[in-house]
């Protein structure tokens, strides 16, 4: 058996229709973690889909209760070939966002895999059922090609709450650190830089979501009778919001900007062709931090986005000064941002600009993470993907979005590699979510080849990293 056999078996899994059938069965389970009524479906996905697929490859599995009360369960699994072999930890999430039935084009059901040319539609096709199904199929191909002995140990953790903030995932990794101990974390989520570009990303930007609230205590009053003598919460909050980020998207609060960005990271992303796929939105060259390319703005800098603003009812407005106004922001930040101090910086900024009565509520936070782009694992993966795909590989120091990478890089202390099988215009989280069939087929072969190469070269990489650490 050989590497080429692993690639052939991975392609045959797709070409035979077996991958499509497996994905259809998984899409049919409505695992909406944002819907409290789907608790049974969340547990069933691990029990009926993931555990049997892993058991067929020789994994032992166990479903565990979530450390956070009321949160969905998780599944742990491991396949040990040798005590001294390199160990790879893999991950996936089986939950999806709400199906949004009735909003899909051509009356498509989110729970039925349907195709239109190269596009395979269904909730979870891109995020994340399609992606972890690709990895499971690639793993099966690599193990079969190796005659059952891949040359590395494998461990898995699957969660069912990623779309609601991964409750309990960090705690589960911490509590089961011995079980999950590994040399490398390898998984798939998020998009490639472009559909045609095999991509590796090494972490993610962090995220801090906060809400600003202003309630003057006066209640709502007629705009004609009281306009001009009562403070309008919506007007004040709109101006407070404008003091945080200007009309070109430039952050105006010093504590929300990165303190330093590696020149190595900026050089990696500077020339990326962001938004190059058909159907991508048109970029605004004048938006965002001046002096940076689109790639630098997206992957090497911070952004502050106003994602919701509420005062009164825009659908049914009345002639009244609103009683209350609120605005929700998301700060996406890179390594080099002191995000723990953002609330203090924001409070100081608002006070200095005359908005001392605007309240700040932190709603969610996740740290920024990044593996060194020059790490030996990155070199191995890059060489592997280039050998399989025969084309250049895009290295993203971090994803523009945010994923729970800190659960693996911080709780477990692992170097992290992500190889996405989706693309930016996949409509994830929206109606008409889809997977591109050619990317899925290519992804199966890329992952099969990478797993094969880790089995063959992993010990050498582990030794190189140990020597670098000593030096």
> How far is 139 from 323, CA to CA, in rounded Å?
57
In this structure, the answer to whether residues 96 and 229 fall within a common structural domain is no
Nearest-CA neighbor of 134 among 452, 415, 435? 435
Q: Is 23 within the bounds of a domain?
A: yes
Cα angle, residue 128 at apex, residues 44 and 63 outer, rounded to 5°: 35
CATH number at residue 7: 3.40.630.10
In this structure, the answer to whether residues 43 and 155 fall within a common structural domain is yes
What DSSP element (H or E) covers 77? Answer: strand 74-79
Q: Where are the alpha helices (DSSP H) in 390-436?
A: 406-409
In this structure, the answer to whether residues 191 and 105 fall within a common structural domain is yes
In this structure, the answer to whether residues 28 and 52 fall within a common structural domain is yes
CA distances 458 to 2, 21, 299, 451, Å, are: 17, 33, 29, 10
Per-residue model confidence (pLDDT) at position 182: 98
Per-residue model confidence (pLDDT) at position 330: 97
In this structure, the answer to whether residues 415 and 354 fall within a common structural domain is no
Number of domains within the chain: 2
Per-residue model confidence (pLDDT) at position 470: 82
> How far is 36 from 49, CA to CA, in rounded Å?
21
Residue 252: other Cβ atoms inside 10 A: 14
In this structure, the answer to whether residues 345 and 450 fall within a common structural domain is no
In this structure, the answer to whether residues 447 and 374 fall within a common structural domain is yes
Among 363, 380, 405, the domain-final residue is 363
CATH number at residue 212: 3.30.70.360
Residues of the chain with pLDDT under 70: none
**Which two tokens mark 439?**
């990317």
Only one residue has tokens 């659908």, namely 315
In this structure, the answer to whether residues 334 and 460 fall within a common structural domain is no
In this structure, the answer to whether residues 59 and 186 fall within a common structural domain is yes
Only one residue has tokens 């045959």, namely 12
> How far is 359 from 215, CA to CA, in rounded Å?
9
- Whether 261 contacts 295, CB under 8 Å: no
Cα 120–chain centre separation: 20
Per-residue model confidence (pLDDT) at position 210: 98
- Structural domain boundaries, residue 216: 206-261+301-363
């Amino acid at each position: 058996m050989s590497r080429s056999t692993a690639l052939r078996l991975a392609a045959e899994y797709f070409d035979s229709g077996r991958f499509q059938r497996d994905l259809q069965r998984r899409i049919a389970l409505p695992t909406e973690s944002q819907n409290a009524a789907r608790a049974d479906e969340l547990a069933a996905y691990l029990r009926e889909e993931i555990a049997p697929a892993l058991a067929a490859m020789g994994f032992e599995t166990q479903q565990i209760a979530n450390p956070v009360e009321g949160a969905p369960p998780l599944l742990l699994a491991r396949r040990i070939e040798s005590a001294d072999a390199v160990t790879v930890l893999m991950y996936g999430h089986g939950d999806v966002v709400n199906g949004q039935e009735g909003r899909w084009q051509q009356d498509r059901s989110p729970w039925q895999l349907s195709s239109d040319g190269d596009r395979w539609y269904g909730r979870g096709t891109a995020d994340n059922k399609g992606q972890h199904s690709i990895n499971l199929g690639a793993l099966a191909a690599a193990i079969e090609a190796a005659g059952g002995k891949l040359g590395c140990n494998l461990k898995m953790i699957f969660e069912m709450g990623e779309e609601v903030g991964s409750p309990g995932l960090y705690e589960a990794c911490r509590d089961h650190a011995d079980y999950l101990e590994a040399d490398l974390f390898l998984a798939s989520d998020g998009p490639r830089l472009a559909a045609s570009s095999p991509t590796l990303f090494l972490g993610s930007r962090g995220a801090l979501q906060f809400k600003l609230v202003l309630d003057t205590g006066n209640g709502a009053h007629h705009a004609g009778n009281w306009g001009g003598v009562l403070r309008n919460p919506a007007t004040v909050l709109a101006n407070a919001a404008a003091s945080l980020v200007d009309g070109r998207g430039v952050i105006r609060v010093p504590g929300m900007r990165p303190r330093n960005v590696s020149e190595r990271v900026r050089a990696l992303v500077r020339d990326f062709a962001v938004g190059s796929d058909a159907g991508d939105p048109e970029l605004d060259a004048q938006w965002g931090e001046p002096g940076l390319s689109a790639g630098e703005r997206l992957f090497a800098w911070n952004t502050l986005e106003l994602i919701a603003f509420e005062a009164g009812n825009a659908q049914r407005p009345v002639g009244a000064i609103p009683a209350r106004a609120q605005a929700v922001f998301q700060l996406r930040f890179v390594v080099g941002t002191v995000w723990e101090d953002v609330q203090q910086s924001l409070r100081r900024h608002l006070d200095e600009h005359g908005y001392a009565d605007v309240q700040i509520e932190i709603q969610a936070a996740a740290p920024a993470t990044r593996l060194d782009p020059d790490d030996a694992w990155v070199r191995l993966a890059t060489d592997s993907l280039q050998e399989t795909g025969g084309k250049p590989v895009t290295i993203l120091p971090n994803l523009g979005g945010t994923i729970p990478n800190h659960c693996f890089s911080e709780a477990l202390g692992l170097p992290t590699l992500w190889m996405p099988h989706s693309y930016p215009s996949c409509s994830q989280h929206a109606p008409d979510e889809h997977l591109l069939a050619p990317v899925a087929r290519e992804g199966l072969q890329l992952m099969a080849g990478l797993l094969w190469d880790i089995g063959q070269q992993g010990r050498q990489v582990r030794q190189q990293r140990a020597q670098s650490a000593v030096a």
